[in-house]
Structure 1
Amino acid sequence: MPTVSVITGGAGGMGLATAKVVGRDHAVVLCDVRQDRLDAASAALNDLAISAAVINSDVTDRDAVAELFGMAGAIGPITSVIHTAGVSPSMGDADYVMRTNAIGTLNVNEVFYDTAGEGSVIVNVASMAAHLLPEELIPARQFPLALTDEHAFLAAMAAVCDPIPQQARSGFAYAVSKAFVRWYSSSQAERFNGRGLRVVSVSPGSIDTDMGRLEAEAGAGALVADAAVPRWGKPEEMADLLAFCASAKAGYLTGTDILNDGGVVASMKERARLAAGNA
């Protein structure tokens, strides 16, 4: 029976690129909400002789996520989950962004925690946006609500986002939702370790995918131009990192976030420091 790697958002740019790496050693189960993209991803993997099952599933629905894991587990033991499913600010309003990125992450991780066998790992995709958001704007004290009362959590996040001007609200919600992904992947590491599980997050910068390019006109393009590595990241560069984090080679890695952004955050922080010193 083959070992299985589940990749949410598996029909997207980073998800499919990761499947091409992980699929060398595992049976791959791709989850996405768009069947046409799933079919295309499956065909692309089949051309590479990679075994892939595709499941149309919405990560914001806990029951659907449980069904996804049940179907994947029937293929073989799930040893890794790479959670790339998410949306960008250009794809919806603040509530949609928060629900997809934060609640989607919560659902996938909690079902993983309940069902995964010892030694398994989940790798969550956060964002450099979470690193750029000032600490005082991150409502971390309210993040634990997600574990006990989803409705109260979403109401608290809405209260944080509502004062932001309409044109910037989705972007702010995106940064907060990805800060939640980082928080969850760190704060829950000890709990996961109690079941012999690892949980890690990775924060990409501007990656050359369909979703990444949606943000090119919303500021990401300028950030890339000023980065230490002045170009868009490649999906394959993220895929190799995600696959490593999910592998046995990274068996000591848990409870942390890896920023892979071409130096954007480091550059911006240093420029801010210099500017403050010259003020």
Structure 2
Amino acid sequence: MVKTAVITGGAGGMGLATAKILGRDHRVIISDVNQERLDEAVTELKTLDVDADGVRCDITDRQSVDALFARAGEAGEVAAVVHTAGVSPQMGSAETIVRINALGTVHVTEAALAIADAGFALVNVASIAGHMVPGFIVPKRAYRLALTDHATFTRKLTAAASRGPASMRPGSAYSISKNFVIWYSQRQAASFGAKGARILSVSPGSFDTAMGRLEEQSGAGKLLDYAALKRFGAPEEIAELLAFCVSGRPGYLTGTDILCDGGTRAGLGLKGMIAMARST
């Protein structure tokens, strides 16, 4: 029986590129908040002979996420979930970014855990930004509330991101929310492991997607000054990694984060991070 893969944010960029790869041997369910983009993506996938369907989903709404997973499971076993849905600093307020990137990841992860079985895998997309948050401002106590109190978790993460100047708050919210995705994916490894399933995160650097280009003048382009590879990554390159991670081949890979950034973090020392903070 053909297994199903769910890809959030699957209507474009990394998500659509991943759907094209997983669609070679999976039934693919992609989700997005924009129905028009979703319809266009499904049409494109079907021209490639991918068995694809689209489900409009708002990941900040747990009922919407549950409906997505219920739809995905109608035709059989859901074996893989790639969670790429998210927003960047130019796309909303600190609260909006926290709700989508952090709370949305909690919703998707909880829904995935509920259906996980032996061989199942979930990959949450984080970011190099999550690796650049100074340890002393990481709100770990607020992170832990994601396990017990979603409303307070969202409020406290937003407050942590809102301590600086107004112009810096969306960027802070993005970095903190992606640092949370890394932490949370590691924290949930034991719960998934108890069911014979896996969870991990992947942290992209600067990639040539609509979101990546939107942030080009706000830091993504400047990061290339520190990268070993002086170019934006291609969506197909990160998609190969995401698809591999949820396949059965790396069956012992869980509870960790994989940084895929063209060598940017390796070349970004303290002075570089300070310069990046000043430039953004």
The two structures have a TM-score, normalised by structure 1, of 0.95
Separation (CA, whole Å) in 2 of partners of 1:205 and 1:46: 30
Rounded to whole Å, the distance in 1 between the matches of 2:223 and 2:16 is: 25
Match in the other structure for 1:236: 236
Q: 1:99 & 1:270 partners in 2: Cα distance? A: 29
Is residue 4–residue 79 contact of structure 2 (8 Å, CA) maintained in 1?
A: yes
Distance in 2, matches of 1:234 and 1:272, equals 24
Matched residue count? 274
Unaligned runs of 5+ in 2: 274-280
Q: Give the partner amino acid of 1:199.
A: I
Q: What's the counterpart of residue 165 of structure 1?
A: 165
Q: 1:83-120 CA deviation, whole Å, 9 max, x = no partner? A: 00000010000000000000100000001101222220
Counterpart Cα distance in 1 of 2:272 and 2:98: 28
Is the deviation greater in 197-206 or in 138-147? 138-147
Residues 124-135 of structure 1 mapped to structure 2, 5 A cutoff: 124-135=124-135
Find runs of 4+ consecutive structure 1 residues off by over 2 angstroms: 269-273
SS of 2:258 mapped into structure 1:
strand
Pairing 1:93–2:93 present: yes
- Residues 176-203 of structure 1: CA deviation (Å, up to 9, x unaligned): 0001100011111012101111001000
Q: Which moved more, 1:81-90 or 1:37-46?
A: 37-46
Give the C-alpha shift of residue 269 in structure 1: 2.3
Change (3 A) 1:36 1:135: same
**1:56-95, aligned counterparts within 5 Å?**
56-95=56-95
TM-score (norm 2): 0.95
Q: Is the 8 A contact 2:116 2:192 kept in 1?
A: no
User: What is the alpha-carbon distance in structure 2 between the residues aligned to residue 225 and residue 50 of structure 1?
Assistant: 38
Structure 2 CA distance, aligned partners of 1:192 and 1:120? 9
Question: Is the 1:5–1:28 contact (alpha carbons within 8 Å) kept by the matching residues of 2?
Answer: yes
Measured in 2, the distance between the counterparts of 1:92 and 1:58 equals 15
Q: Does 1:116 align with 2:116?
A: yes
Aligned to 1:150: 150
Instruction: Answer with 13-22 or 34-43: which moved more.
Output: 34-43
In structure 1, how many angstroms separate the alpha carbons of the residues matched to 2:232 and 2:79?
31
The CA distance in 1 between the partners of 2:93 and 2:272, in whole Å, is: 30
SS of the equivalent of 1:144 reads: helix
Assess, with a 3 A threshold, how the Cα gap between structure 1 residues 63 and 186 changes in structure 2: closer, same or farther.
same
Q: Is the contact made by 2:201 and 2:256 (CA closer than 8 Å) also made in structure 1?
A: yes
Q: Tell me what 2:8 maps to.
A: 8
Q: Contact 1:78–1:117 at 8 Å: present in 2 too?
A: no
> What is the aligned-residue RMSD (CA, Å)?
1.5
Q: Deviations over 1:231-265 (max 9, x none)?
A: 00100000000000000001000000000001111
1:208 alignment partner AA: D
Name the amino acid aligned to 2:50: I
Look up the equivalent residue of 1:205 and give its one-letter code: G
Counterpart contact for 1:32–1:58, Cα < 8 Å: yes
Query: Shift of residue 225 of structure 1?
Result: 3.5
Match of 1:51 in 2: 51
Corresponding residue for residue 181 of structure 2: 181
Q: Percent identity?
A: 51
Deviation at 1:270, TM superposition (A): 7.5
